[in-house]
A and B are shown apart, each in its own frame.
Chain A
C-alpha cells in the first residue's frame, strides 16, 4: 500500500461531512475536516427547510448534475438515515395549486418527474387531495403529489455523519478558519488557517457561503461569486392544531420560490422560507425581519386550512443559501492547481443531494488524480443515535431510569430531555473533537427546543457543560458567544472576568 493521500475538506456542513464520510470508505485517504465554527453543521445546514426532495423540481436540461444527484440523493438518504440513526420521516409532498394558472405551471413538474425518473409523481384533486392531506386549505384546486419526499433533522444528520466519519478515521478541526489554500508549483500543499498550517495533497472546498473566497485563494474561478439568499422561517409548538400530514408547498413562480408547511421530525410545524437575495458580503446576515415573517405567514395561509396564532410561535429564524451564478453548482477537480476540488455554490437541492454528491466527488478525485477507489475492510457503516426518552413508553422510561438514574432526572421539561441525554451529547461533541456549547446540546437532544425556549433549562445545560469541561459557568458558549460575562463579586471589585 502506498503512502496515504491527505485530504482536507473545508467546511463541516452536510456536504463536507458527507464527503468526509464517503472518503473514509476507501483505502488510502487520510481525511481532515476543517470547520470555522465551534461545532459542525452551524452554517447553511443548520437553518433550512429540511426536505429531502423527490427530484421533480430539477430541470435536467438546465442543471443535469443537480437533477441526477437529487434523485440519487433521495434514494441514498433512505439508507443513510438507517445506517446512521438519523431522525427522518417520508410522508411525501404536495405542491398545492389554487388557480388554473398555477395548475398549468404545476403540470410542468409532472413532466420533469418523467425526465428524471422520479417515481409516483402525479396530479391529485378533490377527495383524493383531502384524503392525502386533511389539513390542506379547502380552496386548493389540486396538487402535484410526489410520494418520495421526506424530511430529516438536518443538524442531527450532520452530527451523525461526522460521528461516523470520525469513527472511521476522519479528524475534525473546529474553530479553525481557512485563510487561504497554499499552492506551490501548481500543486495544492495544504491550508493556511487561523490555527496554523494543515498539510494536504487534496483540498475539497465545501465551505458553503465562503466557498467562493476559498476558491479564489486557490487561484481559480476569479469570477465565481456566491450570493447569500436569505430564507426566513417560523417554528410552531408541537401542540398546535392543523399540522399537515404531508409536506406541503406552494407552486414556485418566477418571483417567489415555494413556501413550505411541514411537520418536522420532532413534531413542530415549520413554515418557510422566504427567498431574498443579499449582497455577496452579507454572509452573516441571518437575522429575521418583520416583512419576511409576514410573507411566510401569508403564503402558508394558502396551503393550510388553519395557520396557528402568533402566540404559538416558539422560534423564528433565518438561514442563508449559497446561491451560485445561474444557480449552477460548481463541482470540479482541477489539474491546476493539482489537488484542488470545488464543491461550491451548493444551493438547493444540496441537502438532498449531499450523499450522492459525496460519492460523485470521490469519483471525480479518483478520475482526476488517478487514485483507485478500493473499499476499506472494516469500515463501519453504523452509528447509533443518543437513546432518547421522548416518544418512549412509561415502561421503557422506567427501565432506562432504573438502569441509569440520570435518565430519571429531567433537565428540559418541555421536550422531556434527561440529564443522561445532555451528558451523552456533551460526550459525543467532545469525541468528534468539537467544542461543547449550549446550542450544540440543544440541536442534538432538543433541550431548550420547547415552548419556553430554554428559560427553564439553559442554565442547567450550561452547568452540566461547565462541570464536564472544568470551565466556569459564565464561559460556557451559547453559540459563538459566552453565556454570561463573569463572576458578580469579582467584577464588582473591579477584577477581570
Chain B
C-alpha cells in the first residue's frame, strides 16, 4: 500500500469538489482531489442544456462547458488529481489526522490528510423508494442514467416515455427526449405544484406540448420483457392514490426523476450527525460537519437547485479547511443554532458563530407569494415576490449584522408581507 500526505483531501470530482480542491490549492494548501470516474466534471458533464454558471462566471453556459471551466481551474491551481479512485473507508486517527483509504488501479493508496472535504454528490431516488409496484422489466431508468445514455453515449433509452417527477431534472429530461424524437406521454407529479423552476415548466413542457399531471402518481408498472404501460392514479391530500381514479398510459419507458438524496453514507460511517430534513450532514457556517476537520459541500451537503451554489459551498469548505489546518482545529466559538421557522423545510448551515459572515441556503415547505424572508434576531429581512420549494433561498448573513447583538439562536422564517 502506498501512503501519501496532504493538507486537505477532497472526495468527489464534481463542481463542489473541483471548486474545493482548486480553492484549497489557491489558498496555499497541498490538496488532492479523489474522483471515482476516469474524468473530472461530475454530473454537469452530461448536462448539454444551458443554465449553468450565471452566478459563478456571469455567463449562461451548458453543463459541459461549466464543468470544463472548473477542470481548467483545478489544473491551474496545482491540486493533485486521482482518477478511477474509489474511497473505501476513512479512518479518523486524531482530530486533525485522517486517512482516506482509496482503491485505485495500481493498488490501495492511503491518503493521509488533516482536513477532509466531502463532496461525493447525491444519488437519485429509485422506483422502489417511491413505492411503485408491479413488474420490473427493461425500460425503467433513473433520470441521470437516461441522460447519461443519451448525452454521453448517443443512445436513445426509449420511444414512448412517462416521466415520474417534475423537478428540474424531470422537466429537462422531458425536453431531451422530445428533442431526440421520442414521445413524452406525460410528466407525473405527486404534488399539486410542479417541482422545478417555472422557466423549465414553460421551456421544457409547454413549448413541446408535453402534459403535466399534477397531484398524480405512477402506482404500477406493467410489462414482460420491456415496459408496456404504467397505471397512474390521482392522489389525495395525504398523497395516497385515490381508489377508482386509476388509468393506464401505454409506454415503453419510465424515467424516475423523483429527487435526490445526499450521498452521506461515508459521513454517517465516520460518525457525522445527519439532518433528516436535508439527508446531509449537520454543519456550521464553514461547512464543517460534527466530525472535526471534515467538511461537506455541494449535493452531498444539501441538494442544490443551482450548480453555482455547489461551487460556492466547495470554496467555503476550502476556506474552512485552511483555518482548520493552520490552527490545528477551528478556534472554539459560541455556536448558535439556526432554527427553521415558519414555512422553512430545511436550512443549511445548522450553526453559526457570528464571528464571520455566513450564507444560509434554505428551501420552503410550500409555495407562497408576497413574503418576507427574515431572521428576526438579526433584524434581517428580504422581500420575495414568490417562494417555491423548487427554488433555493440563499441569504447572506453579513458579519456586521451580528455586531452588538446577543443571541441564543437564529430563526429563519418566511412570513406573509403585511
Contact = CB atoms under 8 A, between A and B. Distances in A.
Nearest to B108: A398
A486 interface: yes
B407 interface: no
A487 B106 contact: no
B181 interface: yes
B101 interface: yes
Interface in B243-281: 252, 265, 268
Interface stretch (A164-172, A210-218, A283-291): A283-291
A380 interface: no
Nearest to A315: B128
Interface in B192-246: 219-226
B138 A482 contact: yes
Interface in B102-134: 103-108, 123-124, 126-129, 131, 133-134
Contacts, number: 151
Contact of B104 (A239, A408, A456): A408
16 contacts: A239-B268, A287-B133, A288-B133, A290-B133, A314-B128, A315-B128, A316-B133, A401-B104, A408-B107, A410-B103, A418-B103, A453-B126, A481-B139, A482-B138, A485-B252, A487-B156
B145 interface: yes
Report whether over half of chain B's contact residues are helix, strand or loop; otherwise say mixed.
mixed
A409 B84 CA distance: 6
A469 to B, nearest CB: 16
Interface stretch (B147-155, B302-310, B337-345): B147-155
Interface of A: 239, 284, 286-290, 293, 310-311, 313-317, 389, 394-395, 397-399, 401-402, 405-406, 408-410, 413, 416, 418, 451-456, 458-459, 463, 473-474, 477-489, 491-492
Contacts of B129: 310-311, 313
A401 B156 contact: no
Task: Specify which of B131, B145, B225 lies most central, judged by the most chain A CB atoms within 10 Å of its CB.
Answer: B145
A37 to B, nearest CB: 11
A290 to B, nearest CB: 5
Contact of B1 (A394, A453, A486): A394
Nearest to B102: A408
Contacts of A492: 180-181
Task: Specify which of A284, A416, A453, A454 lies most central, judged by the most chain B CB atoms within 10 Å of its CB.
Answer: A453
A488 to B, nearest CB: 5
B278 to A, nearest CB: 14
A496 to B, nearest CB: 13
Contacts of B221: 287
B158 interface: yes
A451 B148 CA distance: 19
A398 to B, nearest CB: 4
Nearest to B224: A284
Given A288-B133, A480-B137, A487-B156, A455 B105 contact: no
Given A313-B129, A480-B224, A488 B124 contact: no
B23 interface: no
B138 A483 contact: yes
A373 B53 CA distance: 75
B69 interface: no
A485 B36 contact: no
A413 B88 contact: no
A482 B148 contact: no
Contact of A397 (B108, B141, B268): B108
A484 B156 contact: yes
B181 A474 contact: no
Contact of A486 (B89, B126, B156, B223): B156
B388 interface: no
A390 to B, nearest CB: 11
B135 interface: yes
A487 B135 contact: no
B121 to A, nearest CB: 10
A456 B128 contact: no
Contact of B84 (A239, A408, A481): A408
Contact of B126 (A314, A402, A477): A314
B106 A401 contact: yes
B80 to A, nearest CB: 18
Nearest to A404: B105
A410 B157 contact: no
